[in-house]
Amino acid sequence: MFTIGQVISNYKIIDTLGKPGGYGQAHKVKNISDNSEAALKECFGKTTDDLLRFDGENDILYILQAHNYIIKPLSRIALEGATKYYLMELADENLEDFLNRNYNLSVDEKIALFIKICEGIEYAHSKKVVHRDIWWKNVLIVNQSSFTIPKLTDFGRSRDFGISQITLVPPEKWGLPDIGQPELYFKYWESPSQQNYIVGDIFALGILFYYSLGVNQLLYPYYLVPSAKKFLNSEGININTADEAVRQKAYRDWLSTIDYALLEGLRQLPSYTPAFVKKIDPIIGKMSNPDFSLRYQSVSELLTDLRSI
C-alpha cells in the first residue's frame, strides 16, 4: 500500500481518506508543482476480477463525468511499480460526517440534498450504469461557499451494461449486507437485468433517505434481512443450491408472511410533524418496499414525488 509522504508521479500523499475498501484505498494528495489537491485511489486487489473492477470504475467515472453530482475523474489508470492508481476530485467529507456535523439542517435542506443525490443516480441510470453500493459513506460532500454539493462515489461494485468485462458482484459483496434489498438474499434472478438493478438502487435510496432524515436506528431495514433468513431456514431452502424457480417462489412466499403494519410502525419519524410524515412516509415506503415490483420503477418517477412535497 502507498504511504503518507510517498510521492506518486507528481503528487505527494499527505493523508489517508477513510478505511480501505474491498480492493482499494483513497488518499489525499498534493501536486508538488502547484500545491493543488486531489484524491488518489490505489488498487491493492490482486485477483482478475478486482483489477477489472478497478479499471471499470475508472471507465464508469469518465462515462459519468458530465454530471455535477458524481465525483469527477482527473486521470486514467496509471502504474506505480505494479500498483494501479488514478486521480479524482477531492471532496471535504462523506454524507455521514456531514449530517453529524450539521444535525440542525432543516427538513427542506435535507430533501433538497437528497434530490441532488437522486439526480446523480438518475443520470447514471440514463447512461446504463447501476451503482449497487449506495449508502452514506459512498456519498461525498463538497462544501462550496453557501452551496452543499453531493458527489456519488465508489463505483467499484457498479455494473455498466455497456462494459461486458465487469463481472457480476455476488449479493454478499453488494452494499451493506444487513440492509440490502431482500430479493438479493433469495438470489431471485439468475442473470439480473438493468431494470432489476435499478429497483435495487431505488431500495438503497429509500434507506439512504430514511437515514438522512436523522433516524439513528434503522429498525425498518434491519427487520427485513433477518426475516428473510429466518424464512429460508424454516423452509430448509439453500439458495446456493436451489434452482431459480424454487428461489423465486420462496421470495413470493416470504413476502406473504411480512407484517406490513409492523414495518410501518418501524418506519416512524418521531421528530417530524404528523403532516410531514403523512406526505413523506408513503414515498419512503414505496422506495424501500420489500416487493421490488411495488417500488418506484425509475428514479425519474421518484423525483416527481419528491419535488411535489
Q: How far is CA 258 from CA 28, 96, 124, 233, in A?
A: 46, 30, 32, 16
Given 32, 56, 88, which residue is the final one in a domain?
A: 88
At 79, which CATH number? 3.30.200.20
Same domain, 99 and 161: yes
Per-residue pLDDT at 19: 81
Q: What phi and psi, each to the nearest 5 degrees, are found at residue 46?
A: -115, -20
The residue out of 34, 67, 88 marking a domain boundary is 88
**Percent of the chain beyond pLDDT 70?**
91
pLDDT in tens, 23-36: 789 999 999 999 99
Tell me the pLDDT tens digit for each residue of 72-92: 999 999 999 999 999 999 999
Q: Flag whether pLDDT at 53 surpasses 70.
A: yes
Distances (CA, A) of 33 to 85, 87, 106, 158: 20, 16, 42, 34
Per-residue pLDDT at 33: 96
CA pair distance 184, 167, nearest whole angstrom = 16
What pLDDT is stored for residue 218 in this prediction? 65
pLDDT, tens digit (0-9, with 9 covering 90-100), for 93-114: 999 999 999 989 999 999 999 9
Taking 90 as the threshold, does the pLDDT of residue 18 lie above it? no
CATH of the domain at 222: 1.10.510.10
Residue 119 is inside which H or E element, if any? helix 107-126
Co-location of 66 and 192 in the same domain: no
Same domain, 190 and 300: yes
Within a domain: 257: yes
Nine-digit cell at 15? 493523508
pLDDT (average), residues 184-201: 86
Closest CA to 188 of 134, 231, 249: 249
| Cβ atoms of residues 64 and 71 within 8 Å | no
Q: The pTM is what?
A: 0.92
**Is residue 228 a part of any domain in this protein?**
yes
Residues 11 and 56 in one domain: yes
Q: Please indicate, yes or no, if residue 1 is contained in any of the structural domains.
A: no
Mean pLDDT for the stretch of residues 127-152: 92
Q: Are 131 and 180 in contact (CB under 8 A)?
A: no
Average pLDDT value for the chain: 89
User: And the C-alpha cell for 12?
Assistant: 505527494
- Does pLDDT of 168 surpass 50? no
**Statement to judge: residues 69 and 97 lie in one domain:** no
Per the model's pLDDT, the better-predicted residue between 251 and 185 turns out to be 251
173 and 273 belong to one structural domain: yes
Strand locations in the chain (E): 7-8, 11-17, 24-31, 37-43, 78-80, 83-88, 93-94, 129-130, 139-144, 147-152, 159-160
Residue 2 included in any domain: no
Residue 105 and residue 39 share a domain? no
Range of the domain at 153: 93-307
Task: Answer whether residue 1 shows pLDDT above 90.
Answer: no
- Report how many domains make up the chain: 2
